[in-house]
Chains A and B, each alone.
Chain A
Amino acid sequence: MLVEAALGGDLESFGELCSGYYASMVAIAYSVLGDHQLAEDAAQETFARALGNLGGLKNKTKFAPWLAAICRNVAKDVVTNRLRRINAEDLCEVADSSGSDDSIRAVRQAIEQLPVPAKELVILRYYDGLSYEEISTVLGISRAAINGRLTRAKRKIAKYLQRNGFLENRL
């Protein structure tokens, strides 16, 4: 309903959509940029682009996945424009600067090793604690699929940590 109202020109409805999906968009951008402030900037830029292209939304029920696709592009543009590709080393710098210990650094490295979709999913889940329901809406996939993919991603993280001596128990 909010989408329909926004398509009809109701800016406040668009604002409510933005508020509802802001955390998800910041998480998606963070999975590309690895920087909190840049991620928030990218999420806000996403809404600007979305507003200008709202007429291009083909399926009203797929607003969130459409927004997520725009967000990924915005984040990639930020990377290209600012030449600020955040890789494992950068994440470790972030970890060091915030006083994190080796295990935290290792987890960040493990997340960085994941394929892009898996990394995005892990960030969506743990960055600001989005529920499966919220992730399902944003990615346009079922909760069962999220559960399965997240489980596999966590196994990869666990194996990486085990190989590097940070997690004794088996997953």
Chain B
Amino acid sequence: MKSHQSNEQLDELISQAVSRQRPTFDFDKWKRKHKDEIQVFKQQTAGEQTLHSPRPFNIWRTIMKSRITKLAAAALIITAAFVGVHYSGGSIDPATIAWADVTERVTEVDYVHFYYLKSRNNRLTRQFEGWYAHGKMVIRGDSGDATYDDGQTLQGFDGHKRRTVKRPSNFAEGQTFLQWFIGGLLSDENEQFSQQIPTNVGDDFLIYKFDPPSEDSDWIESIFVTVGKNSLLPVQMKVYHKDQDYDLVIFDYEAPEKPAEFFEPPITSEEPPHGAGEVVLDGEEVVIDIAGAPGIKTAVVRLHSKSSDNSGEPTFSLDVAFIIEEGYRSITNDLIRLKLNEAKKCGLGADNWPDGKYRNIRFTPLLKPTEKEDTCIVEISCWLRTEEDRF
């Protein structure tokens, strides 16, 4: 959905702007530099030294050795295993169940299968299928692209299995799959949402309708979430845009669970690129013949501005333009920053072609090192989308 995609784009930009490798602390070196403070500290605490354990103990080991807490933990596991029978529909008036109860319920879910569909101009234009299990998620798009989140790192791959996104996992900080989807749209912190009660109560479902947060009211009309009346689990979420478009997510908790290896991201590219050529740092433009990408004849690339990021890895600027079958040259995308062996999802063109037609070129450049320090092989995979492909 738009919010999610923009969020990823923004995350990447912010990371590029400020990220660096996590610094490590050398306590021995620090002690050598701060002998005076240490001396004072030792004098201050000399009388208390024997009152406290000199080493910390493992609190989890202690807790789990207790028989009572072992039983409590077992009960917790059994409770969590009974997904789907949370609310029996007895004494609680379903019309009073707040959205916060639903989001709380979702924290107990360990496995869900889902479909994510985009409708544009009354046509389903993109489909994704996803699986979340035990803190890991895989989402596969209908154009072969895929996103893998292993709980530590989120990685996106294009249809050629080239990695195009890499950033910290959304699950590392304890987000649920629902929060992952919703992004900032229905923040738990906002009481307007957390206190929301169903607008419709049916025999089997509760329907929550949300007005968009003010920041998103320019493009979102409303958000509907359908929740199982007994399970309190969301089964469908629909985000209506102002322009009649919508995004639909369908959640399914009964699909067979996938094996662990299913959640492992691909390691290498499986398909050859549409074109490749040698580029020299700060050299001339290089024209690369493109094959197997209908509508695109050549790519024109230039490599320049080598620098190091905070981790010391070299980063390059790559300017890319394309010449299409009609002979037109696209505008140049000159905002591409690439690390070696790390592909990036890019795009250019839209309504700015000489004949006024809509054309959008999606492409994935990848730089590979050579034996020469300032010479690289650039591989390009590309796809041309026209007006017909747009909706």
Contacts and interface: CB of A to CB of B under 8 A. Distances in A.
B53 interface: yes
B30 A148 contact: no
Interface string A8-29: 1111111110110011001000
A51 B37 contact: yes
B15 A126 contact: yes
A18 B13 contact: no
Interface stretch (A65-73, A81-89, A154-162): A154-162
A171 B14 contact: no
Contacts of B13: 103-104, 107, 161, 166-167
B14 A10 contact: no
A23 B23 contact: yes
Interface in B119-159: none
A45 to B, nearest CB: 9
Given A9-B45, A170-B218, A98 B335 contact: no
Contacts, number: 207
B161 interface: no
A5 B52 contact: yes
Contacts of B204: none
Interface string B43-59: 01110110111111101
Nearest to B22: A128
Contact of B14 (A54, A111, A148): A111
Contacts of B7: 154, 171
A151 B49 contact: no
Interface string B300-338: 000001111110000101000000000000000011010
Contacts of B54: 5, 8, 10, 13
Contact of A126 (B18, B59, B172, B317): B18
Contact of B25 (A22, A51, A52): A22
Which secondary structure characterizes the binding site on chain A? Answer: helix
Contact of A19 (B16, B25, B308): B25
The residue in A100, A122, A123 that gathers the most chain B C-beta atoms within 10 A of its C-beta is A100
B358 to A, nearest CB: 15
B322 to A, nearest CB: 19
Interface of A: 1-2, 4-5, 7-16, 18-19, 22-23, 26, 36, 40, 43-44, 47-48, 51-52, 54-55, 95, 98-104, 107-108, 111, 122-123, 126-129, 131-133, 135, 143-149, 151-152, 154-155, 157-158, 161, 166-167, 169-171
A-B complex: 8 closest residue pairs judged by Cβ atoms: A8-B52, A132-B173, A99-B307, A9-B45, A148-B189, A151-B184, A1-B56, A22-B25
24 contacts: A4-B53, A7-B52, A8-B52, A11-B31, A13-B55, A13-B56, A19-B24, A47-B30, A47-B34, A51-B37, A55-B44, A99-B306, A103-B335, A107-B14, A123-B18, A131-B172, A131-B173, A133-B174, A154-B7, A158-B6, A158-B10, A167-B13, A171-B6, A171-B7
